[in-house]
A and B are shown apart, each in its own frame.
Chain A
Amino acid sequence: MKAGLVSSAAFAAFAFFSPIAAAQQQALTAPADPAAVERGQQLMTTECGFCHGSNARGGSSGPDLTRSELVQLDENGKQLGEFLRAGRPDKGMPRFEFTDAQNADLAAFLHAQIYLNSNRRLYKILNILVGDPKAGETYFNGAGGCRSCHSPGGDLKGIGAKYADPVALQGRMVLPRGVPPGGAPMPAHRAPNMLKVTVTPPSGGAVSGTLVRLNDFEVTLYDPKSQQMRSWLRSGDVPKVVVTDPLQGHVDLLPKWTDADMHNVTAYLAGLK
């Protein structure tokens, strides 16, 4: 699972073999000298921004410098400085006689921009509270069927205050599996809202607990009463295995609700302070 992309440690349970499971690795590294980046930004704004945009992504007449191969391959302003000293007069790009230090600052700013573009772990999610809380309340009490398990004065009392981050709230609302965001990590079978299973051997005596593992060959559960795991080898339908999901209502909603419904209910819950 891509580091930083997941708000809850318990979600890692879903990524047993996920192609997106591996942490993103990068060739580029974070800027070493923030002061140089700041000086470079000032230089960019005053000298280059008119044509290339203040964020260096291109402007009215100059190309996107963050996608420029010359900039991307530059080393500490060396190649950039050589280019700037010559300019590209045939294309309307004037010469710039910056000092080596200025070229290095400019390069530091551009490389910092490129690094921020490339590193999705650092992307900041914007304001997601754009839904209509009234519509969300209507959906909650009606079509969403949320009311059958939840109530604003009961289990959801103060939920908006509990989740300072609306992104965490929205994620939790969609499928509240496992440890809530910020909670202490624990084994998946001891976390809340996990799958349950009942195993009935041919001899009778059904055993229920949290599902630890189920495949064609074995079934393992965690019995919260005895705090023990129990396992059985499987052969076809023996022993009998019935899996239940305490979050079935949430799972059933996944293909049903629209994004607007989701935004509205998030806005409604965020207001339950």
Chain B
Amino acid sequence: MNIAMIRALIQHQGHKGHRRSVLYILFFVSVVSLVSTGSSTVRGQSQKLDPALLGKPPVDAWPTYHGDYSGRRYSTLKQINTGNVKNLTLAWVYRLNTSINGAIVGGEGSGPAPGAPASTPSIKSTPLMLNGALYFSAPDHVWALDARTGREIWHYFWKTRGGDHIGNRGVGMYGEWLYFLTPDNYFVSLDTATGKERWHRVIANMKREYFSTNAPIIIGRHVIVGVGGDALDIPGYLESRDPESGEVIWRFNTTPRPGQPGAETWPDEYSMSSGGGMPWIPGTYDPELNLYYFGTGNPQPVLTGQSRPGDNLYTCTIVALNPDTGKMVWHYQVTPHDTHDWDAAQTPVLIDGVIDGQPRKLVAQASRNGHFFLLDRTNGKHILTTRLIDSANWTKGINAKGQPAHDPGKDAAVAGTLVSPDTGGATNWPPPSFSPDTGLLYVGTRQSYSIMYLTDTDPRPQGWAAAERTVGAVGSELKAIDYKTGKVRWSRPLAMTAGGSQGGAMGLLSTAGGVLFGNDGGGNFVAYDAGNGKPLWRAGLGVNTSNGPQTYLLDGRQFVVVGAGDVLYAFALQP
């Protein structure tokens, strides 16, 4: 690496001895340019993150999963705008290098695990950008790229012990460190400048079928990480980890234990203590209220509720907690007693809006269960619920609290129930976007059907307990929802093939230039007019974008970066 750095480390015992704090004193020395094998862009620049950046709209940095804490994925940049986006052109391409040769190697495994995918992973992480370098991940891998040229600066390779390699949402930054999670449930910290590992800690055990995909979110001195996994009936939890030591500061269990609030929504300790609720998507944060907002996963067993009558708090719930203490301040459950795998982990988007003439602090979620929710984020008070897709057939309407009322007749049955949406939901983890200019929340949706067959009729069913047979999708659309009414202002049908409607959930980015970046379900990366949904430009990538697009200003030039499968693309206007 071409950053020379001398680091003197003084480690001392922390307060009360229960956790170590580590003081790093850094001396940056002027760089002597050696023979460079990669880029020289970050040479001489500090890769230390100023935490104040996290609370500002992203301009010349993208320092956290959503760009800022709000989850809006809105950029104030307007160099690229509705008038000139038709001239957007390829700046660079980076195809994932997953070779262990030349990589910085860590991990406890012996190498690629038995059953690990032979194919190259898909990019689901949103790259962070700081001082001319991009940092992003895929299961078992982290890369640093030159943000100007797309050339690799370093590659970190994690030798896995196994686990579900379905995806990784990205890295978190604190000071000059990076943090990420692995499929085999390690919490790993790297030196941002060099990619060298500092330490790794275990956060869950993969023998219980936990696997970790979350992008860490950093609030103050808390690195917030959540676990995933629903093959077995296991409890979900969110943790704050110390950025220096990696040790636990607090743990929030997403289901209660006997005697705790919410326990009355479960029949017994047995069901609640193995009741799921995985917080597997990064949340959002309001610094003024000091509240962290995140959605929780589905209850366990996944596709039947016969052993867990009740609402099953705090699964499928939007939770607001104090990040200093890990204590819940309020909650709102968007699917009481879920029986279809429709977790509520989708981004809770923070909107500073106006309702009935009054300025309000709001949180909105386009939820996997096929509904749009708007809440007051100061107290969790429900404001409105609307349907996100027409085909949803599993409710008995909306109850007095604004929640979709569960229809037991649409639970999995031995002979099969025809349910819409399928377990993938009306939308899913790919991040939506909100533009304060248009007042619209943008989300990719899918109308699908499955037949759900109950396979485990035991009084104590286990795991998924039912089998799903996909029927098909009958209409996928990109939708723009007026947050004040929950009504669709405009929608755009996604691509079709011989088999029917394609696409659905997609990562989105809106900008002050009036542009909405997303895909069309048919392998095009598309710039839409955020005001009316008109497609203005596309890049025919051949496969759909697979992460949330992001944008930054570097050397006066606005770049838009997006991943599609195993390739990261950057677009810009010709200088």
Determine whether the beta carbon of B422 is less than 8 Å from that of A27: no
Chain A residues with CB under 8 A of B465: 123
CB distance from B565 to the nearest CB of A (A): 10
Chain B residues with CB under 8 A of A14: 448, 470, 472-473, 499-502
Determine whether the beta carbon of A175 is less than 8 Å from that of B526: no
Tell me, in angstroms, the Cα distance from A29 to B115 when the chains sit together.
9
Chain A residues with CB under 8 A of B206: 27
**Nearest-CB residue, chain B, relative to A190:** B498
Q: Majority SS of interface residues in chain A?
A: loop
**Nearest-CB residue, chain A, relative to B506:** A17
Query: Would you give the 0/1 interface string for A123-167, flagging 1 where the beta carbon is closer than 8 Å to chain B?
Result: 111111111000000000000000000000000000000000001
In the complex, B24 has a CB within 8 A of chain A: no
* Contact (A72, B207) CB under 8 Å given A25-B163, A175-B471: yes
Determine whether the beta carbon of A25 is less than 8 Å from that of B497: no
Chain A residues with CB under 8 A of B470: 1, 5-6, 11, 14-15, 20
Chain B residues with CB under 8 A of A175: 449, 471-472
> Using a CB-CB cutoff of 8 Å, which residues 20-56 of chain A contact chain B?
20, 22, 24-29, 55
Determine whether the beta carbon of A17 is less than 8 Å from that of B504: yes
Tell me, in angstroms, the Cα distance from A194 to B540 when the chains sit together.
24
Chain A residues with CB under 8 A of B147: none
Tell me, in angstroms, the Cα distance from A194 to B496 when the chains sit together.
11
Q: Majority SS of interface residues in chain B?
A: loop
Chain A residues with CB under 8 A of B474: 251, 254
Stretch binding the partner chain, chosen from B48-56, B242-250, B323-331, B407-415: B407-415
Determine whether the beta carbon of B522 is less than 8 Å from that of A213: yes
Query: Would you give the 0/1 interface string for A93-108, flagging 1 where the beta carbon is closer than 8 Å to chain B?
Result: 0000000000000000
Tell me, in angstroms, the Cα distance from A263 to B166 when the chains sit together.
35
Chain B residues with CB under 8 A of A128: 414-416, 453
Tell me, in angstroms, the Cα distance from A1 to B538 when the chains sit together.
27
Partner among A63, A212, A255 whose Cβ is within 8 Å of the Cβ of B420: A255
CB distance from A183 to the nearest CB of B (A): 15
Determine whether the beta carbon of A120 is less than 8 Å from that of B391: no
Chain B residues with CB under 8 A of A20: 422-424, 468, 470
Chain A residues with CB under 8 A of B116: 25
Determine whether the beta carbon of B466 is less than 8 Å from that of A123: yes
In the complex, B503 has a CB within 8 A of chain A: yes
Determine whether the beta carbon of A177 is less than 8 Å from that of B505: no
CB distance from B204 to the nearest CB of A (A): 11
In the complex, A81 has a CB within 8 A of chain B: no
Determine whether the beta carbon of A16 is less than 8 Å from that of B472: no
CB distance from B573 to the nearest CB of A (A): 20
In the complex, A208 has a CB within 8 A of chain B: no
A-B residue pairs, 6 tightest by C-beta: A13-B499, A194-B498, A117-B462, A215-B522, A19-B428, A118-B231
B residues touching A (Cβ–Cβ < 8 Å)? Answer: 114-117, 162-167, 184, 205-209, 211, 231-234, 270, 274, 391, 393, 409, 413-418, 420, 422-425, 428-429, 446, 448-449, 451, 453-458, 460, 462-474, 492, 494-506, 519-524, 526, 535, 538, 540, 544, 546
Pairs A–B under 8 Å by Cβ, sample size 11:
A5-B467, A11-B470, A13-B497, A24-B164, A25-B163, A67-B234, A118-B463, A123-B456, A177-B472, A213-B496, A255-B393
Given A20-B470, A27-B163, 12 further pairs, Cβ under 8 A: A16-B495, A17-B544, A25-B163, A118-B209, A119-B231, A119-B463, A130-B415, A170-B416, A178-B499, A188-B498, A255-B391, A262-B416
